[in-house]
């Protein structure tokens, strides 16, 4: 098997996003765009990934500081995608294998496409292979130009296209596999003679063809996977597509989502089977939900929520950084923050943990089989023993629990 590395381009200033934050850090369903592209590389077994950074490089590196398969490459001036790849030259000049080049602003990439790309590249023994897509509206993308025998001749950027070329609807999603040596040779020759005065990676593809090497373009990319995110509007479209994927996978794994269009589930959430997610539920961050739970309608589950099996969270219930044991019920209008709640606890309507005292976030523990009556305020830090019974409408502090003993309230 050929050795394979990946280069991900993530240095660009995103003027169209109108942002101070690096584009690849903008989130799609709770994860930065770059995370998805890295995942795709890892899933096909790539162990060495070069990420080219420039604009807000520090933030990007910080966000991914725990990844030990990334080599960061600096591109000080953003002179184009071809120039960005060339910035890796010192690292890869002696590498004899295949180089996958992807863009950090293409989070919708799927591993199946990369696998297809590799198969085509190897079976066709090409010097470069690109995966293409057919779009109804190809505006903004580089167009794949083919000759009358259907062989690829090159890629022309939208801004450089003739009227005729603009009509081509086969586009370049920027998923390429190159013979590394041939890639570097071609990159040395590209010139910024185009409308944007940039060094285009796409020109390296044309260059490889011009020098007589075999280049293949496989139409392997689904339209909804081809999107590069260049604007906030595209970010929202990409998020919607990703959300659909997340929900499809959950449903395949046995989760009922009553109304997918009116439900939002973070990419990091894990939900076990036979759990039912009612409409208008928003799950944000790392959230774990066990089996046979019923969530919503109108529930808001935030980062650090862990629900064991058979938990019921009803309308307007918000949970954050809290673990609920088997059988906990909070059916109406509750806030549980920074709490550990034992088995079969009933949280009455409108009861909340007052977890923030103005300076610190404090913890609430509620023992197994406790009953918290409606409209109670549990002032943290608070430790309620098992079988505690809090009457409706009680303001519970540790002080009055100690006074009243086990039958507090």
Whole-number minimum distance, CB 348 to Ca ion, in Å?
51
What distance in Å separates the CA atoms of residue 90 and residue 184, rounded to the nearest whole number? 11
Q: Give the CA diameter of the chain.
A: 89
Structure tokens that stand for 141 in this block: 């993308």
What distance in Å separates the CA atoms of residue 224 and residue 351, rounded to the nearest whole number? 44
Whole-number minimum distance, CB 54 to Ca ion, in Å?
14
Nearer to Ca ion, 105 or 170 (CB): 105
Whole-number minimum distance, CB 78 to ligand UD1, in Å?
3
DSSP 407: G
- Give the position of tokens 């990439």: 109
The partner in contact with residue 173, picked from ligand UD1, Ca ion, none with C-beta cut-offs of 5 to 8 angstroms by kind, is: ligand UD1
If binding is defined by CB under 5 A, does position 385 make contact with Ca ion?
A: no
Residues that bind ligand UD1 (CB under 6 A): 9-12, 23, 52, 75, 78-81, 83-84, 103-106, 141-142, 155, 157, 171-174, 200-202, 228, 230
Whole-number minimum distance, CB 215 to Ca ion, in Å?
21
The partner in contact with residue 81, picked from Ca ion, ligand UD1, none with C-beta cut-offs of 5 to 8 angstroms by kind, is: ligand UD1
Nearer to Ca ion, 127 or 238 (CB): 238
Nearer to ligand UD1, 229 or 401 (CB): 229
Contacting Ca ion within 99-128 (CB under 5 A): 105
The backbone torsions φ and ψ at residue 132, rounded to the nearest 5 degrees and listed phi first, read -115, 170
Sequence-ordered list of residues with C-beta below 8 angstroms from that of 366, at least 6 positions apart, any chain? 339, 340, 341, 342, 345, 372, 378, 384, 388
Q: 332, 333, 343, 389: which one is catalytic?
A: 332
Nearer to ligand UD1, 157 or 318 (CB): 157
H-type alpha helices, 64-148: 81-86, 89-92, 111-123
* Three-class secondary structure of residue 164 per DSSP: helix
The partner in contact with residue 155, picked from ligand UD1, Ca ion, none with C-beta cut-offs of 5 to 8 angstroms by kind, is: ligand UD1
What distance in Å separates the CA atoms of residue 22 and residue 163, rounded to the nearest whole number? 33
Give me the torsion for CA of 34, 40, 44, 45, rounded to 10°: 30
Q: Is 30 exposed, middle or buried (0-12, 13-18, 19+ CB in 10 A)?
A: buried
Whole-number minimum distance, CB 162 to ligand UD1, in Å?
16
284 is catalytic: no
Nearer to ligand UD1, 202 or 206 (CB): 202
The partner in contact with residue 300, picked from ligand UD1, Ca ion, none with C-beta cut-offs of 5 to 8 angstroms by kind, is: none
Contacting Ca ion within 190-229 (CB under 5 A): 228
Active-site residues: which are they? 332
Kindly list the residues in this chain that would bind Ca ion in the complex (CB under 5 A): 105, 228, 230
């Amino acid at each position: 098997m050929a050795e394979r590395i990946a280069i991900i381009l993530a240095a660009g200033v995103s003027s169209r996003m109108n942002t101070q934050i690096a584009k690849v850090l903008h989130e799609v369903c709770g994860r930065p765009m770059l995370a998805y592209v890295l995942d795709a590389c890892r899933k096909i077994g790539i162990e060495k990934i070069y990420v080219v950074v420039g604009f807000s490089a520090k933030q990007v590196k910080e966000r991914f500081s725990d990844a030990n398969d990334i080599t960061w490459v600096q591109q000080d001036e953003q002179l184009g995608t071809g120039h960005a790849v060339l910035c890796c030259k010192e690292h890869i000049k002696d590498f004899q294998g295949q180089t996958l080049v992807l863009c950090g602003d293409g989070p919708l990439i799927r591993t199946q496409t990369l696998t297809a790309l590799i198969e085509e590249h190897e079976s066709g023994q090409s010097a470069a292979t690109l995966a293409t897509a057919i779009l109804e509206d190809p505006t903004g993308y580089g167009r794949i130009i083919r000759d009358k025998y259907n062989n690829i001749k090159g890629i022309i950027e939208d801004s450089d296209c003739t009227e005729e070329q603009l009509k081509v609807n086969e586009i370049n999603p920027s998923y390429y596999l190159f013979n590394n040596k041939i890639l570097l040779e071609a990159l040395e020759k590209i010139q910024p003679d185009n409308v944007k005065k940039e060094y285009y990676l796409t020109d390296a593809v044309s260059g490889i063809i011009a020098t007589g090497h075999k280049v293949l373009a496989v139409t392997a990319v689904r339209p909804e996977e081809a999107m590069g995110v260049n604007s906030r509007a595209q970010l929202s479209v990409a998020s919607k597509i990703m959300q659909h994927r997340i929900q499809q996978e959950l449903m395949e794994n046995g989760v009922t989502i009553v109304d997918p269009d009116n439900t939002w589930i973070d990419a990091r959430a894990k939900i076990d089977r036979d759990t039912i997610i009612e409409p208008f539920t928003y799950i944000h961050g790392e959230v774990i939900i066990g089996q046979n739970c019923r969530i919503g309608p109108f529930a808001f589950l935030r980062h650090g929520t862990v629900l064991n099996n058979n938990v019921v969270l009803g309308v307007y219930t918000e949970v954050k950084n809290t673990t609920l044991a088997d059988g906990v019920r909070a059916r109406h209008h509750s806030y549980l923050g920074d709490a550990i709640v034992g088995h079969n606890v009933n949280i009455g309507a409108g009861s909340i943990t007052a977890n923030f005292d103005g300076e610190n976030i404090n913890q609430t523990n509620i023992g197994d089989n406790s009953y918290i009556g409606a409209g109670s305020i549990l002032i943290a830090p608070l430790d309620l023993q098992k079988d505690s019974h809090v009457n409706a409408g009680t303001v519970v502090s540790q002080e009055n629990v100690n006074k009243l003993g086990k039958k507090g309230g």
